[in-house]
Amino acid sequence: MRFDLRPVPPAVFSLVGQLAAHGHRAWIVGGCVRDALLQRPVADWDLATDAPPDALLRVFPDAIPTGLQHGTVTVVRDHTHYEITTLRGETTYSDGRRPDTVHFVDDITADLARRDFTINAIAVDPANGDVIDPHGGRRDLAARTIRAVGDARARFAEDGLRVLRAARFCATLDFDLEAATHAAIAPTLSTFAKVSAERVREEWLKAMRARRPSRAFEVMRETGMLGITCPELLEGVGMQQNKWHRFDVWTHAMACMDACVGDPVLRVAALLHDVGKPRTRAFSDKTKDWTFYDHDRVGAEIVAPICHRLKFSNDECARIEALVRHHLFHYDQWSDAAVRRWIRRVGKHRIEDLFALNEADTRGKAPSIEAEDLDPLAQLKTHVARVLAQGAALSVRDLAVGGHDLMRQFGRPPGPWLGAMLDHLLEAVTNDPTLNERDRLLQQACALDSGRDRPNSP
């Protein structure tokens, strides 16, 4: 069977033509061949060539030397990046991360032999669509199987990233690990442990783009990878919950993450939202059931170091921590003031995230839920929209008086009293938005100042 060259962008053929004009051959190879054969969208079309790196720079003087020591350059055509890599042979790895030396070859089959999985080790001759598939990659694509090229244990022992990619592909492709490939992970975890936190985070985020990221995280759990990168999550494995939940803590986290509609970082928050449950579980003699008091607060404390450890950006850490902290709410005919207070507490910019997380949390409680289980969330959404449309003050910046007004009113320099006073006023306005007028607020401020609960004055 020939490879269907029709979806290949014209720029790829023109790059191949430029190489040919200098006497070099090139093949389409790697993830793009895999994805095209699966009829999935192709992200990047990559080429492998027998042109050595110095020749690549002569053929493409405008190339960006993205990884020249590994033989890779990037060429930009029509605003699209194309990676062109010199054929490489097998090499030794002594640090479990990078090859000690890179040696270049002129044989495509030698290059395919150093690739990680059979489905990623298929090359296509762009001249005629001939497929070079020495490791049975097409057979494994058809069987939806991830199988290491060559001896899985040896391949995983040389480069720790491969096992993580294996888990990620299980999710993104919805494939299974072949038995020997699966069995080779546990014995090579010491190599996996050397993978940088950044790479772990990147693979997590890639897995989060799958329909069911849980496929990757189940592989990570079964094989011991998760015990290295996030042991906190394992505490919930097999931990029974209460009558509201059909699943144990771990399975619920998986179901919630899969049900969560949103960007990858939001799904990381879904994965971690109940990480505080194992450490807060207690049996209630009154209800004769398990309770998890404060698991949202404890969870936020547990999740902060996890996010920093995995080198999420400060904004991402803050977002994940806030979502874990505020994920727990049960709307039940709240007053307008209660809705305003909730918005103030969680932050207006987190509302949409919390709605998505809450829906996923509900959907993740059982294999299937009743339609009315989502009613409280729908009611909260309507109520929040109404309250926001009223334009009531939600932060001290929205108050009709500012710090300068208060300093002038009381003839005092700025100090802690000022923030405390503004907070009091915001609280008063949250309860009664009609107070948010300059004169009424100044009156209220004077009453507070002379009252017994006078905020700390200088």
Site residues, ligand ATP (CB under 6 A): 30-31, 43, 115-116, 120-121, 159, 161-162
Per the listing, tokens 């547990």 go with: 302
Is 347 among the residues that bind Mg ion (CB under 5 A)? Answer: no
Q: Does 31 bind Mg ion (CB under 5 A)?
A: yes
Which CB sits closer to ligand ATP, 32 or 63? 32
The distance from CA 167 to its chain's CA centroid, rounded to whole angstroms, is: 14
Q: CA of 32: how far to CAs of 45, 67, 200, in Å? A: 5, 19, 22
Closest CA to 32 of 43, 16, 17: 43
Comparison of 48 and 260: residue with beta carbon closer to Mg ion: 48
Q: How far is the CB of 206 from Mg ion (least distance, A)?
A: 10
Strand partners, 104: 88
Within a 10 A sphere around the Cβ of 21, how many other Cβ atoms? 9
Q: Cα-Cα-Cα-Cα dihedral of 371, 377, 382, 384, to 10°? A: 180
User: H-type helices in 160-294, by residue range?
Assistant: 161-169, 179-183, 189-192, 197-207, 214-223, 225-229, 231-234, 249-259, 264-272, 277-280
Query: Nearest approach, Cβ of 387 to ligand ATP (angstroms)?
Result: 43
67 touches Mg ion (CB under 5 A): no
Cβ of residue 131: shortest distance to ligand ATP, in angstroms?
Answer: 15
Task: Name the binder of 171 from ligand ATP, Mg ion, none, CB < 5-8 A by kind.
Answer: none
Q: Which among Mg ion, ligand ATP, none contacts residue 120 (Cβ within 5 to 8 A by kind)?
A: ligand ATP
For residue 57, the minimal CB distance to ligand ATP (Å) is 21
Question: Of the two residues 44 and 174, which places its CB atom closer to Mg ion in the complex?
Answer: 44
Find the part of the chain contacting Mg ion (CB under 5 A) among 39-47, 101-109, 140-148, 171-179: 39-47
Query: From the list ligand ATP, Mg ion, none, which binds 274 (C-beta under 5 to 8 Å, kind-based)?
Result: none
Smallest gap from Cβ 34 to Mg ion, in A, equals 9
Nearer Cβ to ligand ATP (31/187): 31
Residue 331 — left, alpha, or beta (φ > 0 → left; ψ -120 to 50 → alpha)?
Answer: beta
Task: Return the range that interacts with Mg ion (CB under 5 A); candidates 42-50, 211-219, 243-251, 327-335.
Answer: 42-50
CB 384 within 8 A of CB 410: no
* 67/376 with CB nearer ligand ATP: 67
Is the CB of 44 or the CB of 289 nearer to Mg ion? 44
Q: Is 311 left (phi over 0), alpha (psi -120 to 50) or beta?
A: left
Q: How far is the CB of 31 from Mg ion (least distance, A)?
A: 4
CB-based contacts of 278, cutoff 8 Å, min separation 6: 235, 236, 239, 249
Least CB distance from residue 44 to Mg ion, whole Å?
A: 5
User: Which CB atom, from 115 or from 327, has the smaller least distance to ligand ATP?
Assistant: 115
Residues sharing a CB contact under 8 Å with residue 7, sequence separation 6 or more, in sequence order: 36, 42
- How would you label 222-235 residue by residue, b for 16+ Cβ within 10 Å and e otherwise? ebbbbeebbebbeb
We find the least distance from the C-beta atom of residue 400 to Mg ion, in angstroms, to be 55
Q: Which of 117, 260, 276, 267 is nearest to 204 (CA)?
A: 267
- Residue type at 237 in one-letter notation: V
Distance of alpha carbon 196 from alpha carbon 95, whole angstroms? 12
Q: Which stretch binds Mg ion (CB under 5 A): 25-33, 144-152, 244-252, 442-450?
A: 25-33
CB of 41 to ligand ATP, least distance (A): 11
Residue closest to ligand ATP (Cβ): 31
Q: Give 115 or 147: the residue with its C-beta nearer to ligand ATP.
A: 115
Q: Judged by CB under 5 A, how many residues of this single chain contact Mg ion? A: 2
Q: CB of 170 within 8 A of CB of 210?
A: no
User: Considering beta carbons, is residue 120 or 251 the nearer one to ligand ATP?
Assistant: 120
Q: Which is nearer to Mg ion, 44 or 375 (CB)?
A: 44
Task: Spell out the residues 6+ positions from residue 321 whose beta carbon is closer than 8 angstroms to its own.
Answer: 300, 303, 304, 307
Find which of Mg ion, ligand ATP, none residue 273 binds, CB within 5 to 8 Å per kind.
none
In whole angstroms, how close is the CB of 196 to ligand ATP at the nearest point?
13
* Region label for 101, one of left (φ > 0), alpha (ψ between -120 and 50) or beta (otherwise): beta
Residue 108 interacting partner from Mg ion, ligand ATP, none (CB closer than 5 to 8 Å by kind)? none
> Taking the CB of residue 311, how many other CB atoms lie within 10 A of it?
15
**All residues at 6 or more sequence positions from 110 whose CB lies less than 8 Å from its CB, including other chains:** 87, 89, 90
Residue closest to Mg ion when measured from CB atoms: 31
Partner interacting with residue 162 (select from Mg ion, ligand ATP, none; CB below 5-8 Å by kind) = ligand ATP
Binder of residue 322, out of Mg ion, ligand ATP, none (CB less than 5 to 8 A by kind)? none
Residues that bind Mg ion (CB under 5 A): 31, 44
